[in-house]
Amino acid sequence: AQSVTQLGSHVSVSEGALVLLRCNYSSSVPPYLFWYVQYPNQGLQLLLKYTSAATLVKGINGFEAEFKKSETSFHLTKPSAHMSDAAEYFCAAPGGSARQLTFGSGTQLTVLP
């Protein structure tokens, strides 16, 4: 069964520093992977998705993620953190059933001034 692991429940970076949020998946061939962002008291918003078209995926708000099959990883990065990036981030993949998504446990990103 597909599962998703996010390393680090809390990550803090300084404003302007690199953001790196880690996600590892389990499966022989995961055709699809997602990153969602959740701002306080809001629903989840899709940041980006991997659909096998390209290993480097660019999303909204300057984020990108690289699919690395050899490392079973789909880490989320942003070159320069902004205060507005403070939120919770979820990695997800199809799983559970044919119609479901399996979510990681989430990573809370704090951006320090």
Positions touching another protein (CB under 8 A) are 31-32, 34, 36, 41-46, 49, 51, 90, 94, 96, 98-101, 103-106
User: Which residue's CB is nearer to another protein, number 98 or number 113?
Assistant: 98
The CA-atom distances, in angstroms, between 99 and each of 32, 84, 89, 95 are: 13, 32, 22, 8
User: Which residue's CB is nearer to another protein, number 73 or number 102?
Assistant: 102
Contact 64, 81 (CB under 8 A): no
User: Which residue's CB is nearer to another protein, number 20 or number 46?
Assistant: 46
The CA-atom distances, in angstroms, between 83 and each of 13, 25, 33, 66, 69 are: 10, 29, 26, 23, 32
Under DSSP, is residue 11 helix (H, G, I), strand (E, B) or coil?
A: strand
Contact 92, 33 (CB under 8 A): yes
Rounded Cα distance between 30 and 24, Å, is 11
Q: How far is the CB of 88 from another protein (least distance, A)?
A: 9
Q: How far is the CB of 32 from another protein (least distance, A)?
A: 4
Q: How far is the CB of 46 from another protein (least distance, A)?
A: 7
Q: How far is the CB of 26 from another protein (least distance, A)?
A: 16
User: Which residue's CB is nearer to another protein, number 84 or number 97?
Assistant: 97
